Amino acid sequence: MKLVIQDIRKNFNKKEVLRGASFAFETGKIYGLLGRNGAGKTTLFNCINEDIKVDGGSFWVEENGQTRPIAAEDIGYVLSTPVVPEFLTGREFLKFFLDINQAKIRESRTIDEYFDFMKIDPEDRDKLLKDYSHGMKNKMQMLVNFIANPGVLLLDEPLTSFDVVVADEMKQLLRRIKAEHIIIFSTHIMELALDLCDEIVILNEGVLKEVEKENLDNTAFKDKIIAALKGEDHD
């Protein structure tokens, strides 16, 4: 599967945020999307997820030799600020999600098996979501996206709310599932991107550009990424 975005443009109040962003993302890789604050990373995700309408350009999926429009079920979107129904317990929320998506779920597990998969402790499963920490809410958001099993996962700063141990668990999980997904991982933490991601893509001045590691060591590669973020040429 390949997700292709072509010449995406988006303006806000005459400010051009995306200025012809183009890239092809392929299954089996974790892409690190790096950009300075306000570069438009979340805007790009919102466009791909069709939460906002683009002002120009298009995107599509290439699969099994066929080209087709993106469908809602192709995309899983983990927001940097998790949105969950806080009046439900973790168990009630997960049961509701499983019930309404039963026909789409390929691998059937019990609710507690799903909780175990995401390493959510038994004592937290029947708490109201409003009493969950930010990191716990993020875990629930990631869990329902993993259950839905979309071809494309958009992760907007997903690990910043986790402690060191949980963040490492999530990294291992993403590595395990990447073979069947396109994972685009937005972050401002370069070390995290270098540790987790297979390819680094820079969003700068409204356009996307891959930064190739070639034969560089980590220090030289970081310098190349920083130069790209600054819009400088770097040999």
The pLDDT of residue 233 is 55
Tell me if 94 is assigned to some domain: no
Tell me if 133 is assigned to some domain: no
Token output for 150: 């979309």
Would you tell me how many other CB atoms lie within 10 Å of the CB of residue 109?
13
pTM (predicted TM-score): 0.89
Tell me if 152 is assigned to some domain: yes
The pLDDT of residue 38 is 85
The pLDDT of residue 5 is 96
Tell me if 92 is assigned to some domain: no
Tell me if 120 is assigned to some domain: no
The residues, ordered by sequence, that sit 6+ positions from 133 with a Cβ below 8 Å of its Cβ are 161
Find the domain containing 210 and state its range. 2-81+138-230
What's the CA gap between 38 and 204, in Å, rounded? Answer: 10
H-type alpha helices, the chain: 41-48, 90-100, 111-117, 134-148, 164-177, 190-196, 218-230
The pLDDT of residue 167 is 84
DSSP class of 157: S
Work out whether the CA dihedral 209, 210, 213, 214 comes out positive or negative: negative
CATH number for the domain including 183?
A: 3.40.50.300
Tell me if 235 is assigned to some domain: no
The pLDDT of residue 235 is 45
Overall domain count for the chain: 1
Tell me if 124 is assigned to some domain: no
The pLDDT of residue 8 is 97
Tell me if 63 is assigned to some domain: yes
DSSP string, 23-89: EEEETTEEEEEE--TTSSHHHHHHHHTTSS--SEEEEEEEETTEEEE--GGGEEEE-SS----TTSB
What's the CA gap between 53 and 211, in Å, rounded? Answer: 28
pLDDT string in tens for the chain (235-residue length) = 999 999 999 999 889 999 999 999 999 999 999 988 888 999 999 999 999 999 999 999 999 889 999 999 999 999 888 889 999 999 999 999 999 988 888 778 999 999 998 989 999 999 999 999 888 998 999 999 989 989 999 999 877 767 788 888 888 889 998 999 999 999 888 888 888 999 999 999 999 999 987 777 778 888 888 888 887 654 4
